[in-house]
Amino acid sequence: MRIVIAGAHGQVARRLGRLLSSRGDTVTGIIRNPDHRADLESDGVEPVVLDLEQASVEEVAAVLTGADGVVFAAGGGPNSGIARKDTVDRAAAVLLADAAEAAGVRRYALVSSMGVDAVADGATPDGVDEVFVAYLRAKLAAEQNVLPRPGLDVTIVRPGGLTDDPGTGRVHLDRHVPRGQVPRDDVAAVLVALLDDPRSGAVVELVGGDTPVTEAVAAIP
């Protein structure tokens, strides 16, 4: 397969790129910072420098043409302000979906976040930092803008708290799961399995668990 990853220098994204390239897939990574080219190349990923906050649908579609699937793993980052939560976590995800449709690429996986339900219908959860609320709102808006789309087979993954612990290859994956943590390694492994077995319209939550990744993905209702 040829897979394009947006936000390819992120921690989950680099793990995903390495997994895909190591098994022989062709992987293209969209990055904003040209200084990150060498890191992607060392992962076996072809870097493409393109700023998703500035790019047009046509520019992104040109990168996606001929791909079998796309993954949105970009984010404004922990030190970005409220404005970039919207321009990256929402708008860039929608841009990638628009470009995938234009390029005729059906498989689209969106890395979202557990907790987005807390801001549904304009709610503001108590005791939550305003920047994190903006992040959750941007992720929820992205979900609502990419699903459903008749031209795409969309899967949305909402991981719990991300850790750098070694992956176990075992997860708890379902429409709703109790809050918890999950290694970034296992998030990447789940994304690979979802690209192999896309579930159009699925919105799933993900934390560490006892079920092997491939079995967990196959069991998504």
Query: Of 70, 77, 115, 114, nearest to 93 (Cα)?
Result: 70
| Buried/exposed 75-95: b ≥16 CB within 10 Å, e otherwise | bbeeebeeebbbbbbbbbbbb
Active site residue 135: yes
If 0-12 CB within 10 Å is exposed, 13-18 middle and 19+ buried, where does residue 24 land?
Answer: exposed
Write out the two tokens for 53.
Answer: 């906050």
Question: Which residue is catalytic, options 88, 135, 143, 185?
Answer: 135
Beta strand 69-72 with 2-6 is parallel
Nearest to 138 by CA among 79, 95, 76, 53: 76
- Count of all residues that appear for the chain in the document: 221
C-alpha 27/C-alpha 17 separation (Å) is 7
Nearest to 45 by CA among 16, 69, 78: 16
The alpha helices in the chain, defined as continuous H runs, are: 11-22, 37-42, 57-64, 82-84, 93-103, 130-146, 184-196, 213-218
Which residues are known catalytic residues? 135
